[in-house]
Structure 1
């Protein structure tokens, strides 16, 4: 753990590089040719996007509409690992205000932001790199990471004091997203043929984890050489992403290529994390994704991570294990699992896949 207390090299704020007017990015941000960042453009007639699903039918009294929505979500989880939800019950105004207050934060003077500088021990605060390996390639992004649940970890003093509405908005936003995640957990359980509270109980009931990472992707003078976030699957349970409404950047692995997600208005992008892949015994799979950058526009997105209690061993649900389909993963706590990310940073799907080979 001692290696995780500090960064191995001086921290460079990517926003300061972008604002400097440089035309050539430092070598540390240039990705290997094996993972070219350029978006794979689909011809208009074959444009694809992750599914967009209207959640309002979940709450309707019409069983056929409800069943149809459950089926759409089931297909999206099995075929994509990603989908968008609209009519989800979260205030559009709250979504917009929360995103914009964070945009304001990243445009504060750098000395005000540095007061919240983070360390790899918890990642909480203002950061500019993931992983503590010295000399590793870096992503073209800054971020702010904070804990929301359990409440024992929530320290609003570590949340930005400016803009003045930031702390209040984050608290409201977090409560709404915890509620929405609870609904989706029931849907996932039902679709897997489990009791509707099965996944939530496996996560720890009400004693679960949740955190927010706000991503800031500055303009990049050489967007074909860099990535805002390297390919990875999310290590936790489920992620709700509020994307930038003005510019796309998220790409989802599809076969051997990448699909650039086109955000629907006022939608959340939902994706399955590694912990639900484990609990579902790989019926649902977390899917590799990455973020491309833009030479003309900055981008802000909010990723809300809904995670198991860090001390509870996570393993495949007993009902999903049989002679024909044995348990693919050993039991492991989320605290043990996420140390991998804190040490090495984003590494595709290598961690969850490595569990299989050990078993």
Structure 2
């Protein structure tokens, strides 16, 4: 664990580079030609389709037919896309806006005030600008703030921004409301897998789950064709609820070999399946590779809420989803073991979860 105590190189704030008016980006942000966000054979960008949009108004409502149809749409999205947008999700639109505005105010504050929250790779908690501890790694064009929300024993609000003054209160309220949404979604996913409705929640730890928030800031970039705001990866946790910047597109999802630029619906959340759900469902539901592009005209702020299993619980395929015709694809492993691997190596597409399959070499 000693290798996780400090960053291997001095940390550069991407926002500072952007605001200094540079015309060319430093070499450590330039992606290899094969990884740049441009059209190339086998990795075309498809602008004519989008991820499903699901209205949750009737989920667990009195109308059985509408309830069942909502469940069916969630199941289809989890199997075919790994991503979907939700509207009428129960979280106040005003709360969403105020929380996002507070974080934009934080990133617009002077560098010296943000530096008070500078993070380390031991927990990632605080103000950061890189993922992974590989020396000489190609970096992403992004700054972020990461904080623990659940379990409450790990929540330390003194590490959350004190400015703007509303930030801590808003994060607490926002996190509580999004947690309720995650609980509803896990219940729906369990039912669709023909498991007990609380199966996934209990597999995550019941009332003792993990959750964290990563607020991403993607500064304007003078050469957006050479870099990425976030490299291709699948999320290592359970499910992710993203509050996007509805004014600026950036999220791209890989589907059938093509990158789909997500067009966010106003007041919607973007939900995606994480690697732990892929394991628990024995790959019936699949986490999906996604990335973030940047642009030269506008900054972007997005809030990713990660709802995860308790760190020391063994995660493995549900017994009900394992049989002679569908053997268990993954061996038991705790989420903490998996998370350390991600922290050590940074984004690696789908390599991390695929390497856990029983017929592949483990990354551990």
TM-score by length of 1: 0.98
Q: What is the CA distance between 1:38 and its match in structure 2?
A: 3.1
Q: How does 1:49-88 map to 2 (within 5 A)?
A: 49-88=50-89
2:259 corresponds to which residue?
A: 258
1:187 corresponds to which residue?
A: 188
Are 1:230 and 2:231 counterparts?
yes
Q: What is the alpha-carbon distance in structure 1 between the residues aligned to residue 123 and residue 302 of structure 2?
A: 21
Q: What is the CA distance between 1:255 and its match in structure 2?
A: 1.8
Q: How does 1:12-91 map to 2 (within 5 A)?
A: 12-38=12-38, 40-42=44-46, 47-91=48-92
1:334 corresponds to which residue?
A: 335
Report the secondary structure of 1:210's partner residue: strand
1:280 corresponds to which residue?
A: 281
2:209 corresponds to which residue?
A: 208
Are 1:7 and 2:37 counterparts?
no
Q: What is the CA distance between 1:60 and its match in structure 2?
A: 2.4
Query: In the TM superposition, what whole-angstrom CA distance separates every residue of 1:262-291 from its partner, at most 9, and x where no partner exists?
Result: 000100000000000000000000000000
Report the secondary structure of 2:8's partner residue: coil
Q: How does 1:286-297 map to 2 (within 5 A)?
A: 286-297=287-298
1:148 corresponds to which residue?
A: 149
* CA-atom RMSD in angstroms: 1.0
Q: What is the CA distance between 1:256 and its match in structure 2?
A: 1.8
Contact 1:140–1:227 (CA<8 Å) still a contact in 2? yes
2:136 corresponds to which residue?
A: 135
Query: In the TM superposition, what whole-angstrom CA distance separates every residue of 1:215-262 from its partner, at most 9, and x where no partner exists?
Result: 000000000001000000000000000000210100000122200000
Q: What is the CA distance between 1:41 and its match in structure 2?
A: 5.0
Report the secondary structure of 2:175's partner residue: helix
Q: What is the CA distance between 1:59 and its match in structure 2?
A: 3.8
1:168 corresponds to which residue?
A: 169
Report the secondary structure of 1:355's partner residue: coil
Q: What is the alpha-carbon distance in structure 1 between the residues aligned to residue 331 and residue 361 of structure 2?
A: 8
* Larger CA deviation: 109-118 vs 27-36: 27-36
Contact 1:251–1:261 (CA<8 Å) still a contact in 2? yes
Contact 1:38–1:223 (CA<8 Å) still a contact in 2? no
Q: What is the alpha-carbon distance in structure 2 between the residues aligned to residue 118 and residue 23 of structure 1?
A: 28
1:121 corresponds to which residue?
A: 122
For structure 1, list consecutive stretches of 5 or more residues without a partner in the other structure. Answer: none
Q: What is the alpha-carbon distance in structure 1 between the residues aligned to residue 232 and residue 79 of structure 2?
A: 20
Q: What is the alpha-carbon distance in structure 2 between the residues aligned to residue 77 and residue 31 of structure 1?
A: 30
Contact 1:216–1:301 (CA<8 Å) still a contact in 2? yes
Contact 1:85–1:267 (CA<8 Å) still a contact in 2? yes
* Larger CA deviation: 268-277 vs 33-42: 33-42
Q: What is the alpha-carbon distance in structure 1 between the residues aligned to residue 129 and residue 46 of structure 2?
A: 32
TM-score by length of 2: 0.97
Report the secondary structure of 1:185's partner residue: helix
Q: What is the CA distance between 1:42 and its match in structure 2?
A: 3.9
Query: In the TM superposition, what whole-angstrom CA distance separates every residue of 1:98-153 from its partner, at most 9, and x where no partner exists?
Result: 00100000000000000000000000000000000000000000000000000110
Q: What is the alpha-carbon distance in structure 2 between the residues aligned to residue 65 and residue 198 of structure 1?
A: 23
Q: What is the alpha-carbon distance in structure 2 between the residues aligned to residue 38 and residue 341 of structure 1?
A: 26
Contact 2:46–2:259 (CA<8 Å) still a contact in 1? no
